[in-house]
Structure 1
């Protein structure tokens, strides 16, 4: 569901039903995975949300009355064409469709899609060059008209503008596709930029001759046939605020992936606005300096290949764009080293210049003053008029004429263009990834809602991530998010250079929010220095104390000889829960409303295990062997005593008390086993690790590891779907905070709440332990990227048994709890790890292994050894600290400390 601006809760039944299908054991489709033939025949690996979109469509088709028309509402840049390619294969293989009509409203998108779906010579072709399904070679043919007798093993794709499809239907012409052509063989319509196809619904035009009515005629052409035509629409923009649009699509939206989620998941660049009072000439030179600085930064970072950041200058009219083009050429031609130096020095003096990115660039050029002559020569070379493209025709549409190929290959090393001049109409069809600066030309630029919405859409398209290669790896997600102090963030940030006018900026932010596009002002945000308190430095704890973390050791393949080594508590008596009604009842949870019992399933045997394995891609032997290196065969995995031991398994299900054995179907038993093995697959993949923690703890001198460090406060001023962390800078110099070892605390609300809770008990703790009671914030910024950072991590060790007797999951990566409480009396030195966690539900469960490790420390202190022979050190951990101390973490900890020493 989605909440609109009118604060209505809008529901989309297909999405809600898909969620049920994903989890319900009564569904034959629970645990459905995207077929392997899709991944095997696509050039790109499908991302998690693309797979989810295909699963949702699969669930929709499994309905008793499957939808003939669906909509995928997905963010710009999220790879909708990849999903189309995957669905072409799915519909061909699973539903028997051979004819596909791709339609869109602009020729530019049509040309791009031809490269994606039918032109095997294109760098952007999405299928593998050799398509094979079930051992058969599959051909893809582009056609102007679908053939009367389709050939076997052939997919036919017709790419046509919606205008042309409409004309052919409404204006009869010889040799063109009329309605009868769509009646002969079933057709799957892939309609891109679908928000343009609702004119009839919105009554903007007469019903008979709109694009919408044309598409509907094609869709309904075979309604009297068993296999009907189907329509799959794709768009990033749907105006659900309009009631008629919501009513049209409410039961057709099969998947949603908003722009904010796309950006939060790291698949885009960050977006920052440079709000400036500079004139167009100054903005042009600033954009060039920033673009060149990106190029130099990529070189310094070791980015492989040519890193070529592109600038776009956006104007409201073609004439103004051409005028700006000439001005830019003049600026570059007249540039000298002396003029550049004066410009930078002047810009630094201006109060209006508050850009963090530009300040980084200025510092770089000033640091290289003796090289400015060479830098200017490089600028003149890179921004030579031959490397500038004015992509406008008389209509102002950027991609309709001869520059299409150049514009669509800007990432290519052979493409030398660094600058594009265009008008404001660019909103669709441009997939350039290395666009890093968009500069708004002010002359005659409008500031109304329509204008700022066009700008917001352009920014959204420009935010596509550029997958540059670093350290031998090409990433499709941001790499530097976790280090806001890293200058290389500029390689993952799109800057929009705009004017500093309050009313316009307010309107622009409103448009960005309406698009769910999180952005922030690019302003100077210097890191704040966080210093260790001088008073703490004078203490014995600081001078002589240590903080303790455990060592790791290499794990040989011979270790992985049973499921238990992966954190799987596999027993011969399998106890599971049968889903019934709309709720799940655990076998230990007898409800007053629904009485349950445990029922032995007599019909269960090894056949169910083998069938479940066939349904899960993870258990293909070639894949399973990667994680179980000692495994010799699938039979060994299924029947081996250390593995599934299928012949010895007995199944017990918790069911309603009125159930008997005959009420449980074979499909339900199978789904229980599929669910169990899916859990095992996740644990096996996370449990196969080459380093493992030990019970040997090493003490690291506090004075060497607790040091001054710098940290920035994250900034984001437009975000709707994202939940801000509310991170603030708190002064800790007050006497009430003398237990806190740093002068400042840059923490979120939950972390600050923990500090306050501890503060409330400091007096009573000191009454028992003396003045040596300190709280340390172990910030990830302290030793970022250093060997020290790796040392200060906890790792799992021991048998990983929880307090309730179950096994926790195995995890390779160590983790650094956010806080350490240090206490010392005449007998012992206590080190207590505390980790705040603000999440709940599924995310909380995924992090639970960390809590298990903290509690394991407390429960197994007798097993802990110290490399320095320390006999007076006690290390422990506590439950996650949650909102309002919901798990009584602090209160229980304090009570334990006051009553007796932690043991």
Structure 2
């Protein structure tokens, strides 16, 4: 008999050492308990294993055993659904209080998880917010801020700043310079904690066993590069899924695992639902109806037996989008055509072929319905509860569907437990395998594709489905006897309740090979891992023909110089670009909102003055904010004399300040409590603080233009096409989605290709229609796509920006910007440089200040001064370009370049 190979026993040196320290009564940290500031500032009371994980982390930071070997890269290997984000929240508080960390960077590989975590960690209005609504340590209020650009150079001492960025974007930003993003040099300024979620995706280079791979711009390299920018940086990784059967993965993490909490422990400790599989020979349609009947029976059982208003959710899981859409259509038809006769026939046919051993739970459901005197009531309830308005289709790769964020579908998917959320059914393919936090998912139905088998692909698919099952197994903490439990409570004394209220059922057709693969996946929970090799950087090269031209060799690109702003400028809030009247209306929504995700409805809102707000509210809000303490405020308001001065006419003008609140139309603002009014005032002050910070800048633009040699600044470069989350396939997303477009056919375009969006491509094609006419006037015509990736070094990026000019604009924004395109025209009389900025319509108003800079250039030609005292240099700017106003912009180009109202023929393209 052949000997079976014994599976290698895994050892994790760090984790084993920490377990030993925890048991050692002589250990100097023995008996350490989770500090109250963590317990009191978290929404959920930490579970024992979460408490233990933080305690083990504390040992690595304080124990004498780690005095000379501080581990900086640590892995929390914890089961799906065990509350890794809760653990992150606790670690953030610990590191802020005990170690003085204020900057945290959260990264993950999908935008869905990213958006969810933003809600978890920063959105106080979200039901998923994991901190207490009033964070406080040692009597001082804390502020948790989402950072969209760079971390502040001078953060308030009670600020926790979290930057959320996908690993794709992070990698692109670190290894390709871009406007208003953080480079490795920027990250050197202050110590940082990196929170890397779904970390099983970040080992592609390690798996290849090739050290050369780590030199490439991989996701793994991004994290390690950030970690090593400072000696006090930390990299904390989190995942449920590590393939320790892969020797390279095991060797990478064997000394970095700080805590393990496996799925079997999670289930054994009763923190999850039980998981049961229902196999059937039914068709997909019959399987759908049987699951609907089971789901409705769960709801009725909970209500009739325990008085619990439970809303069980069904997920129909397909492998292909077309199959999912087809299943959605069949489901709608089935519910629409359901009647008493068919239901009765279905129940009898099912019970004839179903034994209790096959599915005890379905038997319970079918017997319940057969005992009903009036099945018409059941049919009516099913038609209402499973109507199209109660269905979410998360197959966002369909370009005809609205984007998740723009239709409210994302919020609906992540608030399915909410009493105001009426959705009962979700159709999906792959969107929900990571990052989905629904608790009241009770049935997952696999939509079968019979006759299409591929063992290798099916094995991979079942790994993904096993992960989805793990997510669905999260326990639903319903209230029973006015008590909420976060652990199962019916296992021993009520089998029926346990089956219906504490069990996730996975419904699948009886396909032998598929079931074999699924069982293997469930046994191992060896879930599918991603790779970062699918999105390689693309070489963007200057054309050789352009490099031979005089413009390339001798020409320059002109941008206005900046000068330091004196403190004497900041004499009132208007000098910061702050219009109090525009920020004095504060949004405050008390209720959730539910609609069909295809609905174009919006909430009916109203704006009401907030009465009963006097100076006491503002002064109390200011006293609770570290930003508005005089010593800190003085840093940003150098001309402020005192806090009494701050209340006065030039600053806040408290006597004349009237706050308004934007609410749902049905909200009775007059019934707001003092606590609610205080929250609104706090929100107003947070907005004001942000405006003051962003308005206090050190430099502003001047009318003096400096030329930078084209041959020194334009170069070949590499850039990745962003790997966008397919959830955003709305019209506006498609317009802005970028791809690498070849431009070899256009000899006027300086690069061989450009990574641009549809709007930008449309601009290039439109100019191509008129380039011959431009050449009749100018011997040389070239269009340059300005991409900051071509500019090596932060100083070069800053030089090639336009800044607001000395005259006070309508809205102050001193950050500067790089217009996307420059059109260069040269003849014997003029060297004409024209800035062009394509702008999607959804960004038109937000970026209006940029268009004002371009307009200012045209209207103040006589005021512009050039470093090069050479006649014939002209700088111009065009209005924003998009398909709606393309004629206006191109006509403006004709007027500037040819001194005529429009181009001859004025051919317009419509490529959308």
TM-score w.r.t. the length of structure 2 is 0.54
Is 2:160 aligned against 1:155?
A: yes
Please give the secondary structure, in 2, of the residue aligned with 1:349. helix
Give the corresponding residue for 1:252: 256
Q: Deviations over 1:597-626 (max 9, x none)?
A: xxxxxxxxxxxxxxxxxxxxxxxxxxxxxx
* Alpha-carbon separation, structure 2, partners of 1:488 and 1:222: 51
Which residue does 1:70 correspond to in 2? Answer: 74
Q: Is the 8 A contact 1:390 1:422 kept in 2?
A: yes
Give the conservation status (yes or no) of the 8 Å contact 1:76–1:259.
yes
CA deviation after TM superposition for structure 1 residue 303, in Å: 3.8
Counterpart CA distance in 2 for 1:485 and 1:106 is: 39
CA distance in 2, matches of 1:211, 1:384: 43
Q: Is the 8 A contact 2:114 2:165 kept in 1?
A: yes
Given the alignment, which residue of 168, 174, 179 partners 2:179? 174
Taking a change above 3 Å as real, the CA distance of residues 308 and 119 of structure 1, as seen in their structure-2 partners, is same
Equivalent position of 2:297 in the other structure: 293
- Is 1:503 aligned to residue 522 of structure 2? no
Offset at 1:472? 0.7
Aligned counterpart in structure 2 of residue 417 of structure 1, from 413, 423, 429: 423
Deviation at 1:154, TM superposition (A): 1.1
> Following TM superposition, by how much is the alpha carbon of 1:400 offset from its aligned partner in structure 2, in angstroms?
7.6
Shift, 1:302, TM fit: 2.1
1:5–1:103 CA distance, 2 compared to 1 (3 A): farther
* Closer/same/farther in 2, CA of residues 326 and 303 from structure 1, 3 Å limit: same
User: Within 5 A, what are the aligned runs for 1:676-715?
Assistant: none
The corresponding residue for 1:41 is 41
Partner of 1:747: none
1:382 and 2:385 aligned: yes
Q: 1:67 to 1:427 in 2, by over 3 A?
A: same
Q: What are the residue-to-residue correspondences of 1:782-861 with 2, within 5 Å?
A: none
Deviations 1:440-496 (CA, angstroms, capped at 9, x unpaired): 111266553111111111111111111111111111111111135334531111111
Partner of 2:501: 491
- Say whether residues 1:322 and 2:334 are aligned partners: no
1:431 aligns with 2:437: yes
How do 1:196-235 residues align onto structure 2 when only pairs under 5 Å count? Answer: 196-203=201-208, 206-207=213-214, 208-223=216-231, 228-235=232-239
Contact between 1:437 and 1:494, CA under 8 Å: does it hold in 2? yes
**Are positions 1:467 and 2:477 aligned together?**
yes
| Residues 384, 246 of structure 1: alpha-carbon distance in 2 compared, 3 angstrom cutoff | same
Shift of 1:162: 0.8
Task: Determine helix, strand or coil for the equivalent of 1:184.
Answer: coil
**Number of aligned pairs?**
508
- CA distance in 2: counterparts of 1:256 and 1:482, whole angstroms: 28
> Contact 2:394/2:431 (CA < 8 Å) preserved in 1?
no
- For 1:142, what is the secondary structure of its paired residue? strand
1:90-101 to structure 2, matched below 5 A, reads: 90-101=94-105
SS of the residue corresponding to residue 296 of structure 1 reads helix
Greater Cα shift, 477-486 or 331-340: 477-486
Aligned mates of 2:369, 2:132 — CA distance in 1: 45
Is the CA contact (8 Å cut-off) linking 1:301 and 1:488 kept in structure 2? no
Alpha-carbon distance, 1:501 to partner? 2.4
Contact in 1 for aligned 2:175/2:217 (Cα 8 Å): yes
Residues 1:13 and 2:13 aligned together? yes
Q: Is the 8 A contact 1:22 1:32 kept in 2?
A: no
| Corresponding residue number in structure 1 for 2:241 | 237
1:70–1:231 CA contact under 8 A, matched in 2: yes
The equivalences for 1:765-784 within 5 A come to: none
Q: Give me the whole-angstrom Cα distance separating, in 1, the residues matched to 2:5 and 2:73.
A: 26
Aligned pairs for 1:656-675 (under 5 A) are none
8 Å CA contact 2:242–2:526 kept in 1: the answer is no
Structure 2 distance, partners of 1:315, 1:184, is 48
1:83 aligns with 2:87: yes
In structure 1, what is the Cα distance between the partners aligned to 2:504 and 2:253? Answer: 33
Match of 2:188 among 183, 191, 202: 183
In 1, the alpha carbon distance for the partners of 2:414 and 2:298 equals: 21
- Determine if contact 1:276/1:352 at 8 Å carries over to the other structure: no
CA–CA distance in structure 1, aligned partners of residues 35 and 478 of structure 2:
30
Aligned to 2:169: 164
Which residue is 2:724 aligned to? Answer: none
Out of 359, 362, 373, the residue aligned to residue 358 of structure 1 is 362
State the Cα deviation string for residues 746-773 of structure 1 (Å, max 9, x = none): xxxxxxxxxxxxxxxxxxxxxxxxxxxx
Deviation at 1:6, TM superposition (A): 6.0
SS at the partner of 1:392? coil
> Mean Cα displacement is larger for which, 37-46 or 126-135?
126-135
Per the TM alignment, residue 276 of structure 1 is displaced from its structure 2 partner at its CA by 0.5
1:387·1:416 contact (CA, 8 Å) conserved in 2? yes
Give the superposition deviation at 1:20.
2.0
In structure 2, the CA distance between the partners of 1:252 and 1:6, relative to structure 1 (3 Å rule), is farther
Moved over 6 A (4+): 395-401
In the alignment, which residue of structure 1 is the partner of 2:346? Answer: 343
Q: CA deviation at 1:31?
A: 1.3
Q: Give the Cα–Cα distance (whole angstroms) in 2 for the partners of residues 505 and 140 of structure 1.
A: 46
Alpha-carbon contact 2:321-2:395 (below 8 Å) kept: yes
Query: 3-state SS of the aligned residue for 1:221?
Result: coil
1:338 offset after TM fit, Å?
1.4
Partner secondary structure for residue 144 of structure 2: strand
Displacement after TM superposition at 1:352 (Å): 7.2
| Equivalent residues of 1:108, 1:400 under 8 A apart | no
Tell me the distance in 1 between the aligned counterparts of 2:398 and 2:222: 25
Instruction: Kindly provide the CA deviation profile for residues 111-155 of structure 1, in whole angstroms up to 9, marking residues without a partner as x.
Output: 110111011111111111111112221111111211111211111
Q: Partners in 2 of 1:425 and 1:129 — Cα distance?
A: 30
| CA-CA distance at 1:516 after TM superposition | 8.5
Aligned to 2:488: 478
How many Å apart are 1:209 and its aligned residue?
1.1
Confirm or deny that 1:441 pairs with 2:444.
Answer: no
Q: Decide whether aligned partners of structure 1 residues 204 and 356 sit closer, same or farther in structure 2, where only a CA change above 3 A counts.
A: farther
Following superposition, the deviation at residue 184 of structure 1 comes to 0.6
Mapped partners of 1:508, 1:400: distance in 2: 33
- What residue in structure 1 maps to residue 24 of structure 2? 24
Task: Say if 2:405 and 2:411, in contact at 8 Å, map to a contact too.
Answer: no
Cα 1:21–1:395, aligned 2, differ >3 Å: closer, same or farther? farther
| Alignment partners' CA distance in 1, 2:111 and 2:138 | 35
Equivalence for 2:151: 146
Which residue of 281, 287, 292 maps to 2:285? Answer: 281
Q: For 1:189 and 1:400, locate their aligned partners in 2 and report how far apart those are by CA, in whole Å.
A: 26
Asked whether the equivalents of residues 108 and 399 of structure 1 are also in contact (C-alpha less than 8 Å), the reply is: no
- The one of 114, 131, 137 equivalent to 1:127 is 131
Contact 2:60 2:71 in 1 (8 A): yes
The answer to whether the Cα contact below 8 Å between 1:303 and 1:469 also exists between their aligned partners in 2 is no
* Deviation readout 1:476-524 (Å, 9 max, x if unpaired): 111111135334531111111101122321221111000189xxxxxxx
Deviation for aligned residue 1:426: 3.0
Equivalent residues of 2:491, 2:498 under 8 A apart = no
1:29–1:516 CA distance, 2 compared to 1 (3 A): farther
Normalising by the residue count of structure 1, what TM-score does the alignment of the two structures yield?
0.55
Cα distance in 1 for partners of 2:278, 2:303 equals: 24
Query: Structure 1 residues 189, 138: closer, same or farther in 2, change over 3 A?
Result: same
Question: In 1, are the aligned partners of 2:146 and 2:162 still within 8 Å (CA)?
Answer: yes
Q: Which residue of 2 aligns with 1:394?
A: 397
How far, CA to CA, are the matches of 1:513 and 1:350 in structure 2?
29
Mapping 1:636-651, distance limit 5 Å? none
